Structure 1
Amino acid sequence: MIESLVELQNIGKIYWRGDAEETALVSATCSVKPGDRIALVGPSGSGKSTLLHLMGGLDQPSTGSISWPGLGTCENLRPQKVSYIFQMQSLLPPLTVVENVELPLLLGQIEATKARKAALETLNRMRLNTIADKLPEELSGGQAQRVAVARALASRPQLILADEPTGQLDHPTAQHLFDVLLDSLEGSETALVVATHDQAIAERMNTIWQMQHGVMEVVTC
């Protein structure tokens, strides 16, 4: 039996906005296994980002339980076992492209020369080696997101959580970025969970989870 990377049992999440209670998730039960390709779809505010944050240990549930059978404890998930790709610009402005890509490796206590080698190899594999010494301000939006993908891949994580990674890109650039991501994961056991509004991207995944008002439904599997 394949061990799940993450398991959520009857997860609920409530936020407080002043005195107002806001329900983000309602009794979600799901699991992610090695090699999974999962799309989270649904309108803004439906709970997609909340679910990703809980999966990656960035937030704690109000009810229910989360475990990471194939990854270990919550404290040891990042930056190497679980990687994130965000919608908004997430590169650190003072660092060059290669420095941004190697940063999670350095934070994970990888020796500096090995971290630089892994970062350069990843950039080369993604055909980004020619911009390795550029600063984020010198990049186009598409280039910046490809570097964010490279940063997520460099540590060879077991789980990648992507929150609207193409949300700020035009359609052709978004499709190219997703091509690069899927090609980079081809043949690997790294699981990918992507929150997206792009139906074309969702349909390229093996499983679709529909989110609506904090309730999750498996549409395809």
Structure 2
Amino acid sequence: MTENMLEVTGLGHVYRAKEQTHTAFGDISFAVDRGEIVCIVGPSGCGKSTLLRCLSGLLRPTSGTVSLHGTEVTEVPDELAMVFQDYSRSLFPWRTVAGNIEFPLRGRELSKAQRRERVEEALSWVGLSGAATKYPWQLSGGMQQRVAIARALAYRPMLMLMDEPFASVDAQTRAELEDLVLQVRAEHEMTVLLVTHDVDESVYLGDRVLVLSKSPASVVETLSVDLPAPRDQIGTRGAEEFVRLRTEVAQRIRNTAPTS
């Protein structure tokens, strides 16, 4: 993992409404290597979701630049997929589960059979093989989020941005999906940037953890996670180094959070 893929330089974003302004974050800089999983943590309301939208090209930052493979991002790149926190608004209610997953694949040079194969594989990955013909409104919130994750995985992006992707699923499913992200990264050399409020998750998944300060956010700490591979939910989480790292991340977040 030595090829630099994503570069973020001096990034900042300010929301303006009438005569009021709100600085979501300011002067954020970091880089992500190809095949790396980087987790972003920080106090609630510090601008993590806004940051992802700027990185994806969905929102133009007020200042700074985002570059993918050395090219500035001014719109959503073809090789990028994003899993939104608000899964209910990211799925088409009039399309079946299979139709939702297949939709972005129509822009790729894939035959109908290849698209169908990817849909079936992605549904199997997220445990929804029997839901292909159902519609989003027929599924629970957690199942809808799994459909959104399956859609991103089926696209096989080089860079996947994930905004609290497992927040709406139960603990067992969350563990399975975390392991799925590690599996897909290993098999397809996918680069993942993931926002989470779960400190343990950030250490379990990440090669590095970026800790953001309170709003307006900046990167206050970058922690390398040197845990042996392959990681597993019991052995890794019980390791002394895992406990040390999750304690360090939690302390960094607490030190940056606003006091009441």
Give the TM interval when normalised to the shorter protein: 0.7 to 0.9
In the other structure, the counterpart of 1:216 is 219
The CA distance in 2 between the partners of 1:196 and 1:71, in whole Å, is 27
Alignment-mate amino acid for residue 17 of structure 1: A
Q: 1:85 aligns with which of 78, 83, 87?
A: 83
The answer to whether the 8 A contact 2:57-2:73 is kept is no
The answer to whether the 8 A contact 1:142-1:177 is kept is no
What TM-score do you get using the length of structure 2 for normalisation? 0.76
Structure with the bigger percentage of helix: 2
The answer to whether the 8 A contact 1:27-1:215 is kept is yes
Offset of residue 74 of structure 1: 4.1
Q: Counterpart of 2:4 in 1: which secondary structure? A: coil
Equivalences for residues 20-169 of structure 1 within 5 A = 20-69=20-69, 74-75=74-75, 77-78=77-78, 81-88=79-86, 89=88, 90-108=90-108, 110-169=110-169
The CA distance in 2 between the partners of 1:125 and 1:94, in whole Å, is 23
* Higher relative contact order, chain-length normalized (CA < 8 Å, sep 6+): 1
Q: Counterpart of 2:46 in 1: which secondary structure? A: coil
Alignment-mate amino acid for residue 86 of structure 1: F
Cα-Cα RMSD: 2.3
Q: Counterpart of 1:194 in 2: which secondary structure? A: strand
Specify whether residues 72 and 16 from structure 1 end up closer, same or farther in structure 2 by C-alpha distance, changes over 3 A only: closer
- Identity between Structure 1 and Structure 2 (%): 34
The answer to whether the 8 A contact 1:101-1:119 is kept is yes
Q: Counterpart of 1:186 in 2: which secondary structure? A: helix
Q: Counterpart of 1:5 in 2: which secondary structure? A: strand
The CA distance in 1 between the partners of 2:71 and 2:3, in whole Å, is 10
What TM-score do you get using the length of structure 1 for normalisation? 0.88
Equivalences for residues 13-24 of structure 1 within 5 A = 13-24=13-24
Unpaired runs of 5+ residues, structure 2, are 225-260
Offset of residue 22 of structure 1: 0.9
The CA distance in 1 between the partners of 2:2 and 2:75, in whole Å, is 23
The CA distance in 1 between the partners of 2:77 and 2:4, in whole Å, is 14
Deviations 1:101-138 (A, max 9, x none): 11111144644443233222322344422211111122
The answer to whether the 8 A contact 1:6-1:71 is kept is no
